[in-house]
């Protein structure tokens, strides 16, 4: 089971302002990195989000609740920089996919015909 990292706010008296920087999404072996406030300090946390086989709630857990592993400040900057690269690569792949789809005239014509058919069905 995938745990949405935005919902990982335990322990509630220590964790606040969770901003997910990277989330691999609802796939097996999914992981996330977030900027958050822990015990009043800004920091970077990481966690496995859970999967269908090994860990239903992900790792780490505390008292059966999903939590963040807080990275040491000495490496947090390097991890945050790498997350920026990963997000840039993901965006570049997405844009490339959109360009390829837009260049496929036959597929575009089929999509337009399908959409027009839907509009006609609405009347």
Contacts of 21 (CB under 8 A, 6+ apart): 33, 34, 35, 44, 80, 83, 87
Q: What pLDDT score was predicted for residue 121? A: 67
Q: What pLDDT score was predicted for residue 28? A: 82
Which structural domain, as residue segments, surrounds residue 11? 5-122
Separation of CA 50 from chain center: 13
Q: What is the 3-state secondary structure (H, E, C) of 84-96?
A: HHHHHHHHHHHHH
With a pLDDT cut of 70, the percent of the chain lying above it is: 96
Q: What pLDDT score was predicted for residue 50? A: 85
Structure token pair of residue 5: 């990292």
CA angle 46, 48, 52 (to 5 degrees): 165
- 23-79 confidence digits (pLDDT tens): 988 888 889 999 999 999 999 999 999 877 777 788 999 999 999 999 999 999 899
Q: What pLDDT score was predicted for residue 78? A: 93
What's the total number of domains in the chain? 1
């Amino acid at each position: 089971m995938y745990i949405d990292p935005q919902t990982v706010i335990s322990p509630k008296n220590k964790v606040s302002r969770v901003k997910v920087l990277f989330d691999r999404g609802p796939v097996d072996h999914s992981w996330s990195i977030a900027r958050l406030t822990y015990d009043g300090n800004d920091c970077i946390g990481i966690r496995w989000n859970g999967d269908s086989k090994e860990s239903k709630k992900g790792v780490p857990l505390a008292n059966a609740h999903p939590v963040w592993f807080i990275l040491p400040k000495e490496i947090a900057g390097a991890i945050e920089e790498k997350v920026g690269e990963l997000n840039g690569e993901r965006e570049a792949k997405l844009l490339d996919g959109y360009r390829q789809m837009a260049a496929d005239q036959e597929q575009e014509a089929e999509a337009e015909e399908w959409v027009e058919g839907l509009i006609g069905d609405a009347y």
